[in-house]
């Protein structure tokens, strides 16, 4: 789980930025820049979980005996009251075995005289488990089938973030098995009792997919992103170029102005929404204004449109931005 928090740059980075304002290195004075752009920014609460049935029912035989016929397979849709399998009681199985040795006529006679026992579905849903084979001996504790009415996602949210999750909230589900096939969903239940695992309290949150895709399978690992806030047409910068000063204010370092003494300029800015990748600039900059990148070796930053957790498609604000420094 990765809660979205205000990004505070390390003190060493801050110190390096302030040193650059006083003269800095030649590399930063003539270094790389990134432009403020207009795009989409969002804040989310991220959690991990799994795909689970909303209601799971195990179908067990009413008596001991032997499975004679299985009528459905895993993945099949069934209705409540539908016959799923036929079985023989222990007595019927013994009589039929003896009659089979006497020939076809005797076998048919006793087969008609002692009818098999049906195994009936008690739920309308999908078969998610077929646990026996024809000819297997079973008893009332044997699970023959498991049924699920529908599949949901169950996420574990840290108690520090649960206050930002609410019923009806939009969520994005991404399975580890299908990272490029995100699924939209909606929060429909938040459990009242938390769980303590290694002194960390989490609360279960149930998310119903808007449409359950065919590739969903029970127990698949899921990453769930709950949308807390979202803003279109925001002026944004990469988070690593916005510095936090000693007085708590936020600032960026601008390249030297033409005709100046060649020293970078510190510009105080007002910030809005933030996430791990971006910061919204409310005042202090305009679209297209260039900001110096922190001093260091640079490597290309991961493109935001590759993230399946984005709620609104490719993030235009990061297209063409300068690379992120390697620490």
How would you write the pLDDT of the chain (327 residues) with one tens digit per residue? Answer: 444 433 333 333 333 443 333 333 334 344 688 999 999 998 899 999 999 999 999 999 999 999 999 999 999 999 999 999 999 999 999 999 999 999 999 999 999 999 999 999 999 999 999 999 999 999 999 999 999 999 999 999 999 999 999 999 999 999 999 999 999 999 999 999 999 988 999 999 999 999 999 999 999 999 999 999 989 999 999 999 999 999 999 999 998 877 677 788 889 999 999 888 899 999 999 999 999 888 654 444 454 454 555 665 544 443 334 444 444
Reported pTM: 0.66
Q: Are residues 160 and 137 in the same domain?
A: no
CA–CA–CA angle 140, 142, 144 (5° rounding): 110
Q: Which one-letter DSSP state was computed for residue 129?
A: E
Tell me how many domains the chain contains.
3
Q: Is 4 within a domain?
A: no
CB 112 within 8 A of CB 104: no
CB 167 within 8 A of CB 188: yes
Q: Is 3 within a domain?
A: no
Tokens, residue 104: 């076809």
Buried b (16+ CB within 10 A) or exposed e, 269-291: bebbbbbebbbbbeebbeeebeb
Q: 264 lies in which domain range?
A: 11-43+230-326
Tokens, residue 132: 């026996």
Q: Which of residues 131, 148, 165 is at a domain's end? A: 148
CA–CA–CA angle 230, 232, 234 (5° rounding): 100
Report helix, strand or coil for 73: coil
Q: Which of residues 181, 209, 229 is at a domain's end? A: 229
Q: Is 1 within a domain?
A: no
CB-count burial class (<10 Å; 0-12, 13-18, 19+) for 67: buried
């Amino acid at each position: 789980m990765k809660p979205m928090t205000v990004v505070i740059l390390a003190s060493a980075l801050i110190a390096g930025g302030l040193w650059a304002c006083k003269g800095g290195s030649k590399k930063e004075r003539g270094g790389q820049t990134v432009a403020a752009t207009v795009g989409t920014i969002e804040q989310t609460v991220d959690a991990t979980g799994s795909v689970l049935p909303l209601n799971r029912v195990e179908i067990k035989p009413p008596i001991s005996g032997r499975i004679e016929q299985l009528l459905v397979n895993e993945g099949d849709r069934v209705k409540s009251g539908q016959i799923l399998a036929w079985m023989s009681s222990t007595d019927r199985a013994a009589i039929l075995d003896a009659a089979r040795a006497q020939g076809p006529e005797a076998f048919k006679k006793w087969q008609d005289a002692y009818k098999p026992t049906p195994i009936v579905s008690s739920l309308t849903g999908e078969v998610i488990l077929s646990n026996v084979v024809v000819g297997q001996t079973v008893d009332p504790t044997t699970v023959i089938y498991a049924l699920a009415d529908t599949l949901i996602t169950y996420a574990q949210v840290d108690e520090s973030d649960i206050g930002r999750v609410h019923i009806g909230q939009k969520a994005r589900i991404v399975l580890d098995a299908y990272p490029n096939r995100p699924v939209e969903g909606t929060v429909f239940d938040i459990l009242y009792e938390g769980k303590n695992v290694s002194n960390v309290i989490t609360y279960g949150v149930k998310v119903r997919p808007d449409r359950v895709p065919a590739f969903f399978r029970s127990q698949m690992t899921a990453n769930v992103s709950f949308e807390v806030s979202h803003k279109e047409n925001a002026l944004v910068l990469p988070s690593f170029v916005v510095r936090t000063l000693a007085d708590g204010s936020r600032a960026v370092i601008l390249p030297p102005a033409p005709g100046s003494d060649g020293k970078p300029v510190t510009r105080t800015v007002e910030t809005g929404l933030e996430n791990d990748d971006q910061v919204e600039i409310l005042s202090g900059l305009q679209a297209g204004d260039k900001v110096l990148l922190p001093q260091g070796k640079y490597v290309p930053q991961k493109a935001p449109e590759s993230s399946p957790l984005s709620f609104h498609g490719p993030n235009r604000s990061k297209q063409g931005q300068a690379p992120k420094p390697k620490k």
